[in-house]
Structure 1
Amino acid sequence: MDLRTMTQSLVTLAEDNMAFFSSQGPGETARRLSNVFAGVREQALGLEPTLGQLLGVAHHFDLDTETPANGYRSLVHTARCCLAHLLHKSRYVASNRKSIFFRASHNLAELEAYLAALTQLRAMAYYAQRLLTINRPGVLFFEGDEGLTADFLQEYVTLHKGCFYGRCLGFQFTPAIRPFLQTLSIGLVSFGEHYKRNETGLSVTASSLFTGGRFAIDPELRGAEFERIIQNLDVHFWKAFWNITEIEVLSSLANMASTTVRVSRLLSLPPEAFEMPLTSDPRLTVTISPPLAHTGPAPVLARLISYDLREGQDSKVLNSLAKSEGPRLELRPRPHQAPRSRALVVHIHGGGFVAQTSKSHEPYLKNWAQELGVPIFSIDYSLAPEAPFPRALEECFFAYCWAVKHCDLLGSTGERICLAGDSAGGNLCITVSLRAAAYGVRVPDGIMAAYPVTTLQSSASPSRLLSLMDPLLPLSVLSKCVSAYSGTEAEDHFDSDQKALGVMGLVQRDTSLFLRDLRLGASSWLNSFLELSGRKPQKTTSPTTESVRPTESMRRSVSEAALAQPEGLLGTDTLKKLTIKDLSNSEPSDSPEMSQSMETLGPSTPSDVNFFLRPGNSQEEAEAKDEVKPMDGVPRVRAAFPEGFHPRRSSQGVLHMPLYSSPIVKNPFMSPLLAPDSMLKTLPPVHLVACALDPMLDDSVMFARRLRDLGQPVTLKVVEDLPHGFLSLAALCRETRQATEFCVQRIRLILTPPAAPLN
């Protein structure tokens, strides 16, 4: 169904439902249903022309006719998904509204949630429209004036985002992925409640199991808490949450479901310099020094994975480098050694430069080792913010050169070498190749980069607008990761109280905290179900306190909660009266459900780098631009919206994101998209696999276009309906398995020697 037909069908159904519920008397539910369908009609009619304009010119931003993908198409597709869901729900209501089994409250809550999402998508479409009119033809990244950049920042700070993390969570993705995203979001908000009180990952994870119940049964509460967390918690929280998969119990469960391999060994590469031959003249060598940045020389860790035990992998030299990971039980007889493979895959994991290791990615790497039949050498680089740029690049380059020089120990002859990585690892694969070319040593035979970030510069693009609603890559989280990697975020000092406790003291403290939270969590879980069923749990009162009022049987929906906001935040005030200062003065909610999170989250920490900002020349200039001055009394932030349209504003308070970006993000070894032509011409064939709904999509499209314009061999495969990070979800559903297979095909293409010319 084309966009116009879908919109007209939705408007017709909305008008019919609106007329029906308007005639049902003065009841509150009927009134709200009538209002929500009126809102659906208004937003659909307002959104359709903008989407039509974006879709009409989107083909100018594609890499080629065989690859119809860019941020404009993704934004239109996301809006169509929201319209399609509202169309389906409107048809259901029209067909069942007279039935005695029609659940009015349930359908009302879902309609209100998707109406909120549609309203915010309309705001995003207007900003994409502004990018379209300002950017040069074919350019996806924003290159306008800094005043407009500040407008984008202010929109991000103030726009309501919780609606995308509640009932509407993951509506744009394939249905098979949504249960996982819902589970992830419940775990995230539960983990956030306990993060500040417990310090060990296992204790936090266990305590979160019981408190997650109320977030599972209350999507509105979950969405509000999700938005609060992404705006307030620092990069150390995200590092802790993303590293949950590193816990021994969880990693063991993941490995049980993955392919069994003969070799999976963690190696510690000594920080010793060695010589590498130059590709231009193998008689000459260059010294590869160990990593030195920030922390000085130290061993570099890497994991060797091989489906078969090959020659060299059981040598005394390699055994001396092996790092113990605990006792392992060998259940099978020792196999004969297979000959060395002709190829080798050097892998660099993702994780936003701040989290995860090869252990997190081991399940799909084992599958790769079986399917490709080659050893895989996965590098564990040091993570930010403790080790900012260029430490990770230095370690990855050092480990890559070590693997090339000692490939015989890894079970390979090294005839063909592929660099493969995802997300931040894809960025490092490209920059390691650039560094190898700069040193004059062997570059890999090809690069497979899955959904890589190719520029860390603070530039807006249509796909990066999707970070306003992406559950895996929210914009504030991206900004925190970039700040950590660029070294502009201060590192928290280790708690002196923990040092005083010692190891046994920490164990005793965490045990007592775990038992306490287990009791409180179970009580909270039980109370949530009692509230849902309308029962009032027994509460003890002291003589000096008043009796506690009965709890509500059902929580307020999204729209009801919005009524508690200041008038200006709802968009009911005129545009000229509402300023960013007004928004920053909004009071936080005092509801009992929010009080615990308000204590644990604490004040927000400013992030020094964000994707909607451009670097200034000095700190003074940045501070001067931190507050955008209105023109003729009207804030510039409002100029993108037509008169009468008011997007929903956040009730979580304003996150301060200063208009400052470190100049280091322009370094081509940090943002390869910004590298000069002479550097990009040294790259081997590059194979990119991107996601159509990924905020990083435009990074891949523009990088592929730059390489193609230079005559460099490059391919781009864009998979549909999957989120960023699908490699880690390879076993989840058919769609993720197919996308992972695309990556394997690209690696196999690199490892296959070119056919000999016919004589």
Structure 2
Amino acid sequence: MDNKVVFAALERACEDIISVTRAPSGSPHGAVASRLVACMRQIQEHARALEPVVGGFIAVFHHYDFDEQTPGNGYRTLVKVGVTSAFFRADHNASEMEAYCSALCQLRALLHLAQRLISDNGFGQLYSLQDTDLSSRFVQEYSSMHKACFYGRCLGFQFSPALRPFLQTVVISMVSYGETYGKQHSGLGMAALSLLTSGKYVIDPELRGAEFERITQNLDMQFWKSFWNLTESGLLTVGRVKSSLTDSQIDPSLTTTVLPPIAHWGPGPVHVRLLSYELREGQDSEELQALSRTDPPPISVSHLPWVQKQPHSPWLLIHFHGGGFVAQTSKSHENYLRSWSKELSMPILSVDYSLSPEAPFPRALEECFYAYCWALNNCHLLGSTAERVCLAGDSAGGNLCITVSMKAMCSGIRVPDGLMAAYPATLLTTDASPSRLLTLIDPLLPLGVLTKCLNAYAGEDCQPMQPAGGSNAPSSLGRDTAVLLSDLTQGASNWIQSFLDPTRTSGGARSLSSQQRVAQRDKTPRTVADTSASYCGGTVDYPEGFEPLRSQCPAFVSPTSCPIIRNPFVSPLLAPSELLRGLPPVYIASALDALLDDSVMFAKKLRDMGQPVTLTVVEDLPHGFLSLSQLAKETELASGVCMEQIRKIFQQENLTLCSVQTPKA
């Protein structure tokens, strides 16, 4: 849609609402009418200021794309989000309009910050990796800016409408869980308390947004690990790999010894899970069952005479899960892995590497590399001949796909035939970029959470803030309790919304009064110095007369300053050419999230080196869309696109392989 048409239509809509919103000053509706008119005036002001800014970005943002066929970068996304917001819920009541006005104000500030980036960075560059002052100012500004408006009534407006109920459930579950976190309750008791507290967050979006902002900015890493591990219930299959490996597939006379993972606490087992839609040769072998730690043991095929055993597949997919290096296991990703195994008729080995902060870099990389080497040597146990091997992973797992391949090249080990990295983390820093600005509005990957994960992986020794209640909560709940909690929260959300008038303002006299005060306060421009004594403002010069809304609980974001962050095996975007030259074909799928510019810049770097690389930017989907593949048609299609790229890697005719030397015991 033409941006001029959008802003002209918004101007007319505001004028129309102002012209018909008239009530006698003494009437019960007079205060509401005044609020609505004031909102319309502010929206007009923001829109008039935004129109030339958006036009300026539209004129240049194509210079930052990967190529003409792949339009995507953080500047494009910011413009799209800004224009989309022009009509988000523009026909609702005064409370809706106040929330919308706050969101538009903050988006205006983001686009101003993007203007600073585009003028300070080099032409066509999405990052300024040398300008630490620019990144520091970005982090400082982010820390003070109000974000709650994006987690209440405007939650997920930038994503596909089909995903918004899911996002609402996640946010309500998180703030409800935050109230009980650290208190001494059984798993069932915690689920019941979360049900009781979730209702008020459904009824009162402003309260939900404020509480979610508080949680995402300042609760400790253990809370995040605990919440995102709710659906975990332990491993079904655990393998212990041996200390040296041999691959008879290539040349048994050429060997390299691969040591077991030793970082931080010495040698230990590597945990893996095997997923296969069909039972294949080797998968029911006594040798494989001896490696399993399931209880009860795996059922022997002899007990299932009707099961027809299939021959070895020529393909093998090795998967590294996401979770910010700090949370989740392969179980969190089963939904799309099972689909891929069925559709591609191949086994999948998913690695459950050790998590940070207990196991910072390089433990996860060592374990993933070791599991990769073990799989090459023991593919016959996995139901594969490994004629074609592909690595796949999302987010942190995408990072590990790239770095494992780099480590294989450096070690003289067979390089995989291709990589499929979904929204990979290739730059583990807080360096400013346009897509990093999106962390202000992203409920799944706020900057405060992102930096906690990155610092944990780097091994930064920080003292976490203790949650209310004093004691640490357990790292996870049982699977049944977690499912119950999720179902109860979703049920509460659906039940309450089924009888609430959607135009009704916040419920509860006390909450409404509190939120009215917040709304009134937020409508008054404030200086940076007014927000908190802990914030040393003045980092950004906004246009005269404009100031973004400030948070009442500023974030304490620790910049990623540890030298390890710039290790090429941590941030492959910073790797020298000699470490990247020789990588197999790389397929990258990115989304509307903070890591978009990482993907664009990494793909450009590979392309400029002559390395085979493909980048796809999916629209209107958040970070983690693979794990949401069963929630909406859009996420299912995106998962299917990733699967088809894996198929292409397996079916490629001309393989370019580095010389492979494999270990011999």
Q: Same fold (TM over 0.5)?
A: yes
Q: How many residues align?
A: 633
Pairing partner for 1:64 from 64, 67, 84? 67
Task: State the distance in 1 between where 2:74 and 2:373 align.
Answer: 36
Structure 1 unpaired stretches of 5+: 93-105, 249-263, 535-549, 587-626, 629-634
Paired residues for 1:278-289 under 5 Å? 283-289=253-259
1:475 paired residue number: 447
**Could you give the per-residue CA deviations for residues 256-310 of structure 1, whole angstroms, max 9, x where no partner exists?**
xxxxxxxx9613223523345897x762211011000012111111011111111
Q: Is residue 113–residue 558 contact of structure 1 (8 Å, CA) maintained in 2?
A: no
Task: State the distance in 1 between where 2:275 and 2:133 align.
Answer: 51
Task: State the distance in 1 between where 2:13 and 2:596 align.
Answer: 35
Task: State the distance in 2 between where 1:493 and 1:270 align.
Answer: 38
Displacement after TM superposition at 1:216 (Å): 0.8
Matched, 1:140 2:126: yes
Counterpart residue identity of residue 377, structure 2: K
Task: State the distance in 2 between where 1:404 and 1:387 align.
Answer: 25
* Pair 145,667 (structure 1): closer, same or farther in 2 beyond 3 Å: closer
1:306 paired residue number: 276
Task: State the distance in 1 between where 2:197 and 2:233 align.
Answer: 20
**Could you give the per-residue CA deviations for residues 561-603 of structure 1, whole angstroms, max 9, x where no partner exists?**
14357xxxx6545x5xx43xx42239xxxxxxxxxxxxxxxxx
Task: State the distance in 2 between where 1:175 and 1:205 align.
Answer: 28
Task: State the distance in 1 between where 2:115 and 2:455 align.
Answer: 29
Paired residues for 1:10-49 under 5 Å? 10-22=10-22, 24-25=24-25, 27-49=30-52
Pairing partner for 1:181 from 167, 180, 188? 167
Q: Is residue 689–residue 719 contact of structure 1 (8 Å, CA) maintained in 2?
A: yes
Paired residues for 1:116-155 under 5 Å? 116-143=102-129, 145-155=131-141
Paired residues for 1:617-636 under 5 Å? 636=538
Task: State the distance in 1 between where 2:632 and 2:38 align.
Answer: 39
Q: Is residue 269–residue 399 contact of structure 1 (8 Å, CA) maintained in 2?
A: no
3-state SS, counterpart of residue 237 of structure 2: strand
**Could you give the per-residue CA deviations for residues 407-445 of structure 1, whole angstroms, max 9, x where no partner exists?**
011111110000000110000000000000000110100
Task: State the distance in 2 between where 1:438 and 1:203 align.
Answer: 51
Paired residues for 1:667-678 under 5 Å? 667-678=567-578
Counterpart residue identity of residue 292, structure 2: A
Displacement after TM superposition at 1:20 (Å): 3.0
Matched, 1:583 2:583: no
Task: State the distance in 2 between where 1:373 and 1:393 align.
Answer: 28
Q: Is residue 423–residue 589 contact of structure 2 (8 Å, CA) maintained in 1?
A: yes
* Pair 384,414 (structure 1): closer, same or farther in 2 beyond 3 Å: same
Task: State the distance in 1 between where 2:213 and 2:181 align.
Answer: 16
Task: State the distance in 2 between where 1:52 and 1:647 align.
Answer: 21
Larger Rg: 1
3-state SS, counterpart of residue 408 of structure 1: helix
Counterpart residue identity of residue 531, structure 2: L
Counterpart residue identity of residue 643, structure 1: E
3-state SS, counterpart of residue 269 of structure 1: coil
1:555 paired residue number: 512
1:205 paired residue number: 191
* Pair 150,8 (structure 1): closer, same or farther in 2 beyond 3 Å: same
Matched, 1:460 2:432: yes
* Pair 560,55 (structure 1): closer, same or farther in 2 beyond 3 Å: farther
Task: State the distance in 2 between where 1:203 and 1:668 align.
Answer: 46
Q: Is residue 398–residue 422 contact of structure 2 (8 Å, CA) maintained in 1?
A: yes
* Pair 415,650 (structure 1): closer, same or farther in 2 beyond 3 Å: same
3-state SS, counterpart of residue 392 of structure 2: strand
* Pair 203,138 (structure 1): closer, same or farther in 2 beyond 3 Å: farther
Matched, 1:196 2:182: yes
**Could you give the per-residue CA deviations for residues 115-157 of structure 1, whole angstroms, max 9, x where no partner exists?**
1100000000000000000100111013464433332122111
Task: State the distance in 2 between where 1:312 and 1:227 align.
Answer: 50
Structure 2 unpaired stretches of 5+: 656-665
Displacement after TM superposition at 1:8 (Å): 1.1
Q: Is residue 688–residue 715 contact of structure 1 (8 Å, CA) maintained in 2?
A: yes
Pairing partner for 1:54 from 36, 54, 57? 57
3-state SS, counterpart of residue 325 of structure 2: coil
Pairing partner for 1:381 from 353, 365, 368? 353
Task: State the distance in 1 between where 2:409 and 2:560 align.
Answer: 32
3-state SS, counterpart of residue 287 of structure 1: coil
2:551 paired residue number: 650
Paired residues for 1:689-700 under 5 Å? 689-691=589-591, 693-700=592-599
**Could you give the per-residue CA deviations for residues 727-755 of structure 1, whole angstroms, max 9, x where no partner exists?**
11111111011000001001001111406
Paired residues for 1:199-278 under 5 Å? 203-247=189-233, 266-275=237-246
Counterpart residue identity of residue 580, structure 2: L
**Could you give the per-residue CA deviations for residues 318-367 of structure 1, whole angstroms, max 9, x where no partner exists?**
01011215578899644121110011000110000001111111122111
Displacement after TM superposition at 1:490 (Å): 4.3
Matched, 1:319 2:289: yes
2:660 paired residue number: none
Counterpart residue identity of residue 349, structure 1: H
Q: Is residue 278–residue 441 contact of structure 1 (8 Å, CA) maintained in 2?
A: no
* Pair 441,201 (structure 1): closer, same or farther in 2 beyond 3 Å: farther
Task: State the distance in 2 between where 1:305 and 1:332 align.
Answer: 18
Counterpart residue identity of residue 637, structure 1: T
**Could you give the per-residue CA deviations for residues 25-71 of structure 1, whole angstroms, max 9, x where no partner exists?**
45111111110111111111111111111121100000110000000
* Pair 165,325 (structure 1): closer, same or farther in 2 beyond 3 Å: farther
2:369 paired residue number: 397
Displacement after TM superposition at 1:489 (Å): 3.6
Q: Is residue 426–residue 573 contact of structure 2 (8 Å, CA) maintained in 1?
A: yes
Percent identical: 51
Matched, 1:719 2:598: no
Q: Is residue 266–residue 323 contact of structure 1 (8 Å, CA) maintained in 2?
A: yes
Task: State the distance in 1 between where 2:424 and 2:188 align.
Answer: 31
- Normalised to the residue count of structure 2, the TM-score between the two structures is 0.88
Counterpart residue identity of residue 59, structure 2: G
Counterpart residue identity of residue 304, structure 1: L
Task: State the distance in 2 between where 1:434 and 1:689 align.
Answer: 20
Task: State the distance in 1 between where 2:531 and 2:546 align.
Answer: 17
* Pair 172,493 (structure 1): closer, same or farther in 2 beyond 3 Å: closer
Task: State the distance in 2 between where 1:694 and 1:201 align.
Answer: 33
Q: Is residue 571–residue 647 contact of structure 1 (8 Å, CA) maintained in 2?
A: no
Task: State the distance in 2 between where 1:584 and 1:493 align.
Answer: 18
Pairing partner for 2:539 from 637, 659, 664? 637
Paired residues for 1:69-108 under 5 Å? 69-85=72-88, 89=90, 92=91, 107-108=93-94
Cα-Cα RMSD: 3.5
2:659 paired residue number: none
Task: State the distance in 2 between where 1:694 and 1:200 align.
Answer: 36
Greater RCO (Cα-Cα under 8 Å, separation 6 or more) = 2
* Pair 557,9 (structure 1): closer, same or farther in 2 beyond 3 Å: farther
* Pair 417,457 (structure 1): closer, same or farther in 2 beyond 3 Å: same
2:661 paired residue number: none
Task: State the distance in 1 between where 2:560 and 2:446 align.
Answer: 19
1:255 paired residue number: none
Paired residues for 1:496-511 under 5 Å? none
* Pair 494,388 (structure 1): closer, same or farther in 2 beyond 3 Å: farther
* Pair 145,329 (structure 1): closer, same or farther in 2 beyond 3 Å: closer
Counterpart residue identity of residue 555, structure 2: L
